[in-house]
Amino acid sequence: MAAVTLYHNPKCSKSRQTLALLQAGEATINLVEYLKQPPSAAELRQILNTLGLSARQLMRTKEAVYLELNLEDTSLTEAALIDAMVENPILIERPIALTEHGAVIGRPPENVLTLL
C-alpha cells in the first residue's frame, strides 16, 4: 500500500474528507498539520515541483493575508511567493497528498485516489 504524506488542516472539510479516503484505502499516512509545522522553502519548492505548479497556483487568494501582503502583485518573484507561504502557511492550498509516485491537491478529495 502507498505511503502518503498529507499536508492537512483538521479545520478544513476537504482536508478531513481527503484523510478519510486515504484511511479507507488503508494507506500509510504521515500526517503533517502544516499550520503548526509549515514546510520550509526547500520543502515547498519540492512540493511545487512534484505537483507541477507555480507558487502562485498553490496560493489561497481569498485569505485576508493575501491582500494584506499585496501578493496579487504580478511582479513578485517565485521566491517571494514561496517565502510568503512559509511565513503564512494559511496561504497554502490544502490538502496536499504526496507519494513517491506523485502528488495531488485534494480538491476534490477524490483526487487522492489516483495515488493509491
> What residues act catalytically?
12
CA torsion sign for 46, 49, 54, 60 is negative
d(CA 65, CA 46): 24
Q: Are 30 and 22 in contact (CB under 8 A)?
A: no
Hey, what amino acid is at 71?
A: L
| Beta carbons of 105 and 52 less than 8 angstroms apart | no
Judge contact between 107 and 15, C-beta under 8 A.
Answer: no
User: 62 in helix, strand or coil?
Assistant: coil
Which residues share a beta bridge with 104? 97
